[in-house]
């Protein structure tokens, strides 16, 4: 270290600057959350120190009374949040405080709209953290020193929240971190000890460490002319008992919610939670939350997941979301506290350990039960949940076979029944509505809801009043490759394979319409062959359709083939797609098809065949190889007398 400590100035990363600016503006109406965020950081630092001390308690440097102190200085206009936790080295400070290290920052910024209300909400999902200090402070000073290092290795960081921050080495006797907020002139309310206490009890009552504030204590009466004997004592202002260790009956909903916010950094309430204690030969407690809105990291890679904190005997060990939560429940937040895992449990051990396997199963079961309960009790709330997390839950159908029976009743789909729009149905309800003779659960997958809802494949189903599930999430086609039946009923794509609806709704089938349909002669085999030859490699076969009532043509795949929209997606992503050619189905009663049957001119026959094929492609949402050619062909048809 140099003899004369120098102050260095660094510029914030561009993204950090942007987030900072936004945060200050859009979170103003929630400004008091800065205290929760700083206390939460302090508590994490204490957790980490305690964890390090398991292996070597000399890291405490003789001070194992872990605590957070909040101190206001009215004269200076400063508010200090101090911890004797793990502290930060110079590199830590540069990495953690000079940048916004979270993954997805860019994606987050791209989603911002400029509408303050919506952006505030997004920032809440993103997690605000340390930078929320700048909502109330026009300058922030951080003094920190890593536990176990020399006093001279302390660091002083300072910034006014503009484009830069300064760094300077300092001597710091005690390890841990002190965040000093130089409050803006009109934020003096945060110097008031009553205000501070009530914020602590609202936001941080049940973190596992004491939060202390100084209080003047007067002992003995002041004699006339003499000064009273006053001294400052540090008093606990929170309950400091980890929330999950309390009996459920002693915890209010409000306390559960504030603990959730402390855990998740979410600005919104949790949708629901489940708190369970298992006692016996192996004891553990789980407190699990389902957020109301999807956190920013929902689409993160498998090894980046966080959100489930593992404690052993009240000591925070690590974030074990990867070990204890399956990928499809990555939005679950919470705490697991085991009395029986070893304190030095490693990630590897967690992976193999029998007890952690049990805990993992319990976490999955409880999470799914909790979601199932909302589904059962509160359809409106559940629909909101489904819109946020449905696509993620669907991954579970494929990934977690052993819990499939718990997951599949949670699924919701748009359907052709009901009010048309995005009517949401569940599978049991679908089966209940099936008419006599219907054996399969019919569905269609498409690129988006509109394409699914308007697909020509649905025509005969609509006509016969048979419900079809409309699937347009990206995961749907993948899920359906593995999800072959529900409650003994097989799934059947209306766009794949043969469709035979003759035996459905036998009663009604007697009516004239159905009889008539039967009589409608299929297209002549020679004609079909001729169309097939004219289309060459485009199709594998041309046949008469049972599916179409209004449209002239549609494309059909084999039962095992991948939907065309998914094939296109994979091709665009540069992946190999198995070569498959669709079947072209033609509606024998459609005037264009009738015209084709009577067409004698070779050229016109070829053009019309191609137009029918191209129309089928277009209604699949595909783009044409030769759009200009298509336009020409259609125009010449339009202009024909
Ligand atoms: P988050 O807490 O969500 O990670 P923050 O911006 O609040 O985001 O903090 C960034 C990082 O800075 C933390 O992850 C932590 O490593 C470090 N940090 C913040 N406050 C403290 C503290 N009081 N003691 C030690 N490290 C801290």
Q: Quick: pLDDT tens for 555-576.
A: 999 888 888 888 888 888 888 8
* 560 assigned to some structural domain: yes
What residue owns the CA closest to ligand 1's atom 20?
A: 41
What confidence score (pLDDT) does residue 513 get? 53
Range(s) of the domain holding residue 177: 16-215+232-236
Q: Are residues 172 and 26 in the same domain?
A: yes
What residue owns the CA closest to ligand 1's atom 18?
A: 41
Distance (angstroms) between ligand 1 centre and the Cα of 86 equals 11
Distance (angstroms) between ligand 1 centre and the Cα of 551 equals 60
Strand partners, 493: 443
Which residue is it, tokens 């039967």?
A: 518
Q: Are residues 35 and 162 in the same domain?
A: yes
What confidence score (pLDDT) does residue 184 get? 96
Instruction: Give the tokens for residue 337.
Output: 């506290």
112: left (phi over 0), alpha (psi -120 to 50) or beta: beta
Indicate if the pLDDT at residue 7 is higher than 80. yes
Give all strands (DSSP E) within 78-127, no chain letters: 78-83
292 DSSP 8-state letter: S
What confidence score (pLDDT) does residue 220 get? 67
What residue owns the CA closest to ligand 1's atom 11?
A: 96
Q: How far apart are CA 50 and CA 57, in angstroms?
A: 8
Boundary of a domain, candidates 188, 207, 236: 236
Total number of domains constituting the chain: 3
Indicate if the pLDDT at residue 328 is higher than 90. yes
* 227 assigned to some structural domain: no
What residue owns the CA closest to ligand 1's atom 10?
A: 96
Q: Are residues 359 and 458 in the same domain?
A: no
Q: Are residues 316 and 182 in the same domain?
A: no
Of the pLDDT bands very low, low, confident and very high (cuts 50, 70, 90), residue 333 is: very high
Q: Are residues 434 and 567 in the same domain?
A: yes
Q: Residue range 315-320: average pLDDT? A: 90
Q: Residue range 425-453: average pLDDT? A: 93
What confidence score (pLDDT) does residue 326 get? 94
Distance (angstroms) between ligand 1 centre and the Cα of 119 equals 23
What residue owns the CA closest to ligand 1's atom 1?
A: 129
What confidence score (pLDDT) does residue 298 get? 62
Cβ atoms of 531 and 540 within 8 Å: the answer is: no
Q: Quick: pLDDT tens for 357-388.
A: 999 999 999 999 999 999 999 999 999 999 99
Q: Which atom of ligand 1 approaches the CA of 131 most closely?
A: 6
* 451 assigned to some structural domain: yes
Of the pLDDT bands very low, low, confident and very high (cuts 50, 70, 90), residue 70 is: very high
Which residue is it, tokens 């759009």?
A: 627
Residue with the larger pLDDT of the pair 101 and 622: 622
Q: Are residues 182 and 94 in the same domain?
A: yes
Instruction: Give the tokens for residue 256.
Output: 């559960």
Cβ atoms of 60 and 51 within 8 Å: the answer is: no
Q: Which atom of ligand 1 approaches the CA of 130 most closely?
A: 7
Of the pLDDT bands very low, low, confident and very high (cuts 50, 70, 90), residue 34 is: very high
Distance (angstroms) between ligand 1 centre and the Cα of 130 equals 7
What residue owns the CA closest to ligand 1's atom 13?
A: 96
Distance (angstroms) between ligand 1 centre and the Cα of 131 equals 10
Q: How far apart are CA 227 and CA 620, in angstroms?
A: 89
Q: Are residues 150 and 195 in the same domain?
A: yes
* Counts of helices then strands in the chain (DSSP H, E): 24, 23
* 500 assigned to some structural domain: yes
Boundary of a domain, candidates 362, 382, 402: 382
Indicate if the pLDDT at residue 609 is higher than 50. yes
Q: Are residues 140 and 247 in the same domain?
A: no
CB neighbourhood size of 237 (10 A): 22
Q: Are residues 479 and 420 in the same domain?
A: yes
Indicate if the pLDDT at residue 145 is higher than 60. yes
Q: How far apart are CA 415 and CA 427, in angstroms?
A: 11
Weakest mean pLDDT among 25-39, 112-126, 142-156: 112-126
Q: Which atom of ligand 1 approaches the CA of 40 most closely?
A: 2
Indicate if the pLDDT at residue 304 is higher than 70. no
Q: Which atom of ligand 1 approaches the CA of 176 most closely?
A: 24
What confidence score (pLDDT) does residue 26 get? 76
Taking all residues of the chain, what is their mean pLDDT, rounded to a whole number?
Answer: 88
Weakest mean pLDDT among 24-33, 37-46, 476-485: 24-33
Of the pLDDT bands very low, low, confident and very high (cuts 50, 70, 90), residue 14 is: confident
Best of 33, 87, 96 for a ligand 1 pocket test (most atoms within 8 Å of beta carbon): 96
Give all strands (DSSP E) within 528-636, no chain letters: 541-544, 553-556, 583-586
* 390 assigned to some structural domain: no
What confidence score (pLDDT) does residue 350 get? 87
Query: CB under 8 Å to 223, separation ≥6 — which residues?
Result: none
| Sign of the CA dihedral running 123, 129, 134, 137 | positive
Q: Are residues 207 and 262 in the same domain?
A: no
Indicate if the pLDDT at residue 418 is higher than 70. no
List phi, psi (to 5°) of 269: -65, 160
What confidence score (pLDDT) does residue 213 get? 97
The pTM for the full model equals 0.81
Distance (angstroms) between ligand 1 centre and the Cα of 88 equals 9
Q: What is the CATH number of the domain that holds 146?
A: 3.30.565.10
Indicate if the pLDDT at residue 101 is higher than 60. no
Burial class (CB in 10 A: 0-12, 13-18, 19+), 278: middle
Q: Which atom of ligand 1 approaches the CA of 127 most closely?
A: 3
Q: Quick: pLDDT tens for 503-557.
A: 787 555 455 555 455 445 588 999 999 999 999 999 999 999 989 999 999 999 9
Indicate if the pLDDT at residue 301 is higher than 60. no
Q: Residue range 22-49: average pLDDT? A: 88
Q: How far apart are CA 445 and CA 566, in angstroms?
A: 9
* 404 assigned to some structural domain: no
What residue owns the CA closest to ligand 1's atom 15?
A: 96
Query: CB under 8 Å to 77, separation ≥6 — which residues?
Result: 182, 183, 185, 188, 191
Distance (angstroms) between ligand 1 centre and the Cα of 91 equals 13
Indicate if the pLDDT at residue 81 is higher than 50. yes
Q: Are residues 325 and 455 in the same domain?
A: no
Best of 130, 157, 306 for a ligand 1 pocket test (most atoms within 8 Å of beta carbon): 130
Q: How far apart are CA 269 and CA 257, in angstroms?
A: 6
Q: Which of 36, 97, 105 is nearest to 68 (CA)?
A: 36
Distance (angstroms) between ligand 1 centre and the Cα of 101 equals 10
* 225 assigned to some structural domain: no
* 114 assigned to some structural domain: yes
Q: Residue range 230-252: average pLDDT? A: 93
Distance (angstroms) between ligand 1 centre and the Cα of 332 equals 22
Q: Are residues 209 and 248 in the same domain?
A: no
Which residues are near ligand 1 (CB < 6 Å)?
Answer: 37, 41-42, 45, 83, 85-88, 96-97, 127, 129-131, 177, 265
Q: What is the CATH number of the domain that holds 506?
A: 3.40.50.11260
Burial 280-302 (b: 16+ CB within 10 A, else e): eeeebbbbbbbbbbbbbbbeeee
| Helical pair 591-598 and 525-535, crossing angle rounded to 10 deg | 90
Q: What is the CATH number of the domain that holds 312?
A: 3.30.230.80
What residue owns the CA closest to ligand 1's atom 21?
A: 41
Weakest mean pLDDT among 116-120, 182-186, 276-280: 116-120
Which residue is it, tokens 């204690």?
A: 277
What confidence score (pLDDT) does residue 509 get? 46
């Amino acid at each position: 270290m140099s003899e004369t400590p120098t102050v260095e100035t660094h510029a914030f990363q561009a993204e950090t600057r942007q987030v900072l600016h936004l945060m200050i503006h859009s979170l103003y109406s929630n400004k008091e959350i800065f205290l929760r965020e700083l206390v939460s950081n302090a508590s994490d630092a204490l957790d980490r120190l305690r964890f390090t001390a398991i292996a070597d308690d000399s890291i405490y440097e003789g001070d194992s009374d872990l605590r957070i102190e909040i101190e206001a200085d009215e004269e200076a206009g400063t508010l200090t949040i101090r911890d004797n936790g793990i502290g930060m080295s110079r590199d830590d400070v540069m990495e953690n405080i000079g940048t916004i290290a979270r993954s997805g920052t860019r994606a987050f910024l791209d989603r911002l709209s400029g509408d303050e209300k919506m952006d505030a909400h997004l920032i809440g999902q993103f997690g605000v953290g340390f930078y929320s200090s700048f909502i109330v402070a026009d300058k922030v000073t951080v003094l920190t020193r890593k536990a176990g290092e020399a006093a001279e290795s302390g660091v002083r960081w300072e910034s006014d929240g503009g484009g830069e921050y300064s760094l300077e080495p300092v001597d710091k006797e005690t390890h841990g971190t002190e965040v000093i907020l130089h409050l803006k002139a009109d934020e003096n309310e945060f110097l008031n000890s009553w205000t501070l206490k009530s914020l602590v009890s609202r936001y941080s009552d049940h973190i596992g460490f004491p939060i202390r504030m100084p209080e003047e204590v007067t002992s003995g009466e002041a004699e006339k002319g003499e000064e009273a004997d006053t001294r400052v004592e540090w008093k606990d202002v929170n309950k400091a008992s980890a929330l999950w260790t309390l009996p459920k009956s002693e915890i209010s909903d409000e306390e559960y919610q504030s603990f959730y916010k402390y855990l998740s950094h979410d600005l919104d309430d949790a949708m629901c939670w489940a708190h369970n204690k298992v006692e016996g030969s192996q004891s553990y407690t789980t407190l699990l939350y389902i957020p109301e809105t999807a956190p920013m990291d929902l689409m993160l890679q498998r090894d980046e997941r966080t959100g489930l904190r593992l404690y052993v005997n009240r000591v925070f060990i690590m974030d074990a979301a990867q070990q204890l939560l399956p990928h499809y429940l990555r939005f679950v937040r919470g705490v697991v506290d085991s009395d029986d895992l070893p304190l030095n449990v490693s990630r590897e051990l967690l992976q193999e350990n029998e007890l952690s396997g049990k805990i993992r199963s319990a976490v999955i079961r409880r999470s799914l039960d909790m979601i199932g309960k909302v589904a059962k009790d509160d359809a409106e709330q559940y629909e909101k949940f489904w819109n946020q997390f449905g696509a993620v839950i669907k991954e579970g159908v494929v990934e977690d076979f052993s819990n499939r029976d718990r997951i599949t009743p949670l699924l919701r789909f748009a359907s052709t029944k009901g009010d048309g729009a995005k009517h949401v149905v569940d599978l049991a309800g679908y089966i209940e509505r099936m008419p006599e003779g219907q054996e399969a659960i019919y569905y269609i997958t498409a690129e988006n809801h509109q394409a699914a809802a308007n697909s020509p494949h649905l025509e005969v189903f609509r006509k016969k009043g048979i419900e079809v599930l409309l699937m347009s999430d990206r995961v749907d086609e993948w899920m359906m490759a593995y999800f072959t039946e529900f409650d003994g009923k097989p799934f059947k794509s209306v766009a794949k394979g043969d469709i035979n609806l003759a035996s459905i709704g036998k009663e009604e089938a007697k009516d004239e319409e159905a009889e008539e349909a039967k009589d409608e002669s299929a297209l002549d085999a020679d004609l079909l062959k001729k169309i097939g030859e004219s289309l060459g490699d485009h199709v594998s076969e041309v046949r008469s359709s049972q599916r179409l009532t209004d449209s002239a043509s549609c494309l059909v795949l084999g039962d095992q083939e991948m939907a065309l929209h998914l094939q296109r997606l994979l091709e665009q992503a540069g992946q190999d797609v198995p070569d498959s050619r669709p079947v072209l189905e033609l509606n024998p009663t459609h005037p264009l098809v009738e015209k084709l049957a009577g067409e004698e001119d070779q050229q016109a026959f070829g053009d019309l065949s191609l137009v029918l094929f191209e129309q089928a492609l277009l209604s699949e949402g595909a783009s044409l190889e030769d759009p200009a050619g298509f336009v020409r062909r259609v125009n010449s048809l339009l202009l024909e007398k």
